[in-house]
Structure 1
């Protein structure tokens, strides 16, 4: 039995109730921003980082803290799997990472993303139209999941009728820890199959581009060059998979949590109905309070001190974004959800780390913010008097802060 005094933050069962924040706070209060935790599930101990200054230092020093050597995901993978994983940009270190990121970044600048606002608003209105007259819905499936997937597929030139299979594939890949989110008896096999299907789909897009060049992000990736060479089909497929999966799951998650938080704080919801101009500020507080991604991994490449702790070469480091965004040294009353936080912290969008920091800062942050804003502006005034009809069900996962199901009722139009 472990003598470690701290709860294992990589135990997926911890996240089934949605109240892991108090556990993280207890660890911060008792041990500080950086503590060593035993993981009896994998047998690999890790340094849990929950301080903002500490995570900024780690993320801005990739030579000391590698994403590539053991990957950016917290699970333990064999070397054969890691070879494939290193084709994903999230699992790359400089200079390779910078070269791959450069290919796609122009597609995600604010000016590039803003061109899609009219389309996104039309889709968002149609999504709300489908549920507003019913007086009830399962908010994750019927509302939160729709626009993010439509948006990222549109950017990639994928037909909208294919969105259901991408929804199923990304669920299988990300939520393999939760038996109820995957079909069949072998969740890992289902996750691998989903990834393989997305690779095959990407390969078909590459064939299509070779015959008729595509004027979208897929075309940009396939025409882009790293060290004077175009991406291989396998490299492109890995990039495509990462874009689709991250673009779908992240905004879906924060949109669902945003509605949950507003329903749990009806005075703040009422304020947004009265003052829709505050919605962008509310979105930033949702991002701070319940970031989509909860953990990312780094490996220490040489002995270094962080947060008063000596981290040794080869040590596993896990960055816990939910703890980082509730760092009491940075945020006043961080355990409270407050859409008026901007009044005392006008640069909240720069202060939280929901999109990370440093070289791996989320490529699609502008896209996610636009989707959230548009979606909130459409459903907040129309889904009136919302209330829960069943307890919220959370995903059993330490990586994505997912809501599995959130059934609500509201006044039908």
Structure 2
């Protein structure tokens, strides 16, 4: 059994000052599957830190279940676990595939590509709003805007309500951070408010049918029965958070990385056709979701460790994305040219997971990231930090709370169409 003397990966304080890259490397070097204690909950777990083993767990849901407890890494009471069985992320086959089929039509590449012109219009307006000022708080004013607008449009939520959804999302996802939410109870209240809003949308759809993700869920059947209101409500939350928070986080972390490597940022200013390659490295280097959970359904050997039936297994995507066995000796380096040497980088990174639960919104996320960076990079010139970025205290979402930056103010009308 592998033992590890390092920090608890499920302690939110581990991430309060940003990702502990070096500690994760040491854990990776301790073995691909490492036994860790969690003094906070008293529930020990196996941390899976390399891609080969992470892929095995992800592709074998009969051995490693998402439904047995939850796919979320935090501990929950039985009532919460039972409620969340209605979200696709907490399902195993065959139910998982049936529900996934309902949602995936809204995320086909063809359908997502049809949003590009609209996304570019929004992205231009977002950068327009800060470019002439020469400074901004990047997370809320820039990074958060397009992902939230895009997912609300796809869910049929009026943009006038986006500030409310921004606040609800923060409260739900950042319950471990005292600056973002005061308690777990407040997070649950926010979730109930979102579900209540979703129920009102369902009523509206019956009177005035929509053509979006909401309608795809409401009009579908599962085993010959309409999707239940409870399932619709929890699926609505999952799509909202998955489609909003994850992309916001990658945009903010990507901007931080580019600012910390000004020579690489200049390379992209000079070679804008390479921005899509850079997006893949940004996705690899800082995953939006740090970890997920599986529960062993029987005794199984993995990476030299004997995992017992019922054991908690934590898939640490961030550690795996720096796996030297896949990304080589430079795995710990941020390098926007990596995809030029490694053309299948997009297939090798695990930022979207792999296997049954591979992120259904991958194409949407990549489109938003490309559109935003194609607008940001040429226009927010010579950006500099105004103080240290503030990171969210969370072992689940790798988010930046606040990031104040300055840059060369754009002359009025400089980017007029």
Same topology, TM > 0.5: yes
The answer to whether residue 346 in structure 2 is matched with residue 354 in structure 1 is: no
Displacement, 1:4?
A: 5.4
Calculate the TM-score normalised by the size of structure 1: 0.97
Aligned position for 2:302: 306
Aligned position for 1:136: 135
> What is the rounded CA distance, in whole Å, between the counterparts of 2:118 and 2:303 in structure 1?
46
Contact 2:389 2:402 in 1 (8 A): yes
* DSSP 3-state at the match of 2:407: strand
* Alignment: residue pair count: 407
Q: How does 1:76-95 map to 2 (within 5 A)?
A: 76-95=75-94
Aligned position for 2:24: 24
Aligned position for 1:393: 390
Q: How does 1:263-274 map to 2 (within 5 A)?
A: 263-274=259-270
* DSSP 3-state at the match of 1:296: strand
Calculate the TM-score normalised by the size of structure 2: 0.96
Residues 127-182 of structure 1 deviation map (CA, whole Å, 9 limit, x = unaligned): 00000010000000100000000000011111001101111111001100000012
> What is the rounded CA distance, in whole Å, between the counterparts of 1:229 and 1:126 in structure 2?
43
Displacement, 1:6?
A: 2.6
Report runs of 4+ in structure 1 exceeding 3 Å deviation. Answer: none
> What is the rounded CA distance, in whole Å, between the counterparts of 1:110 and 1:260 in structure 2?
29
> What is the rounded CA distance, in whole Å, between the counterparts of 2:308 and 2:148 in structure 1?
41
Aligned position for 1:369: 366
* DSSP 3-state at the match of 2:136: strand
> What is the rounded CA distance, in whole Å, between the counterparts of 2:77 and 2:382 in structure 1?
50
Aligned position for 1:334: 331
Contact 2:27 2:49 in 1 (8 A): no
Residues 372-393 of structure 1 deviation map (CA, whole Å, 9 limit, x = unaligned): 0000000110101100011111
Q: 1:263 to 1:4 in 2, by over 3 A?
A: closer
Aligned position for 1:262: 258
| Residues 248-257 or 342-351, more deviating | 342-351
* DSSP 3-state at the match of 1:181: coil
* DSSP 3-state at the match of 1:273: helix
Aligned position for 2:43: 44
The answer to whether residue 285 in structure 2 is matched with residue 282 in structure 1 is: no
> What is the rounded CA distance, in whole Å, between the counterparts of 1:27 and 1:215 in structure 2?
47
Aligned position for 2:100: 101
Q: CA RMSD in A?
A: 0.9
* DSSP 3-state at the match of 1:404: strand
Displacement, 1:249?
A: 0.4
Contact 2:4 2:27 in 1 (8 A): no
Residues 12-35 of structure 1 deviation map (CA, whole Å, 9 limit, x = unaligned): 001011141111111112x21111
> What is the rounded CA distance, in whole Å, between the counterparts of 2:251 and 2:77 in structure 1?
34
Aligned position for 1:224: 220
* DSSP 3-state at the match of 1:384: coil
Structure 2, unpaired ranges of 5+:
411-417
Structure 1, unpaired ranges of 5+:
none
> What is the rounded CA distance, in whole Å, between the counterparts of 1:125 and 1:190 in structure 2?
35
Aligned position for 2:413: none
The counterpart of 1:197, out of the listed 188, 193, 196, is: 193
Displacement, 1:344?
A: 2.1
Residues 233-273 of structure 1 deviation map (CA, whole Å, 9 limit, x = unaligned): 11111111100111110000000011000000011100111
Aligned position for 1:165: 164
| Residues 338-347 or 286-295, more deviating | 338-347
Aligned position for 1:403: 400
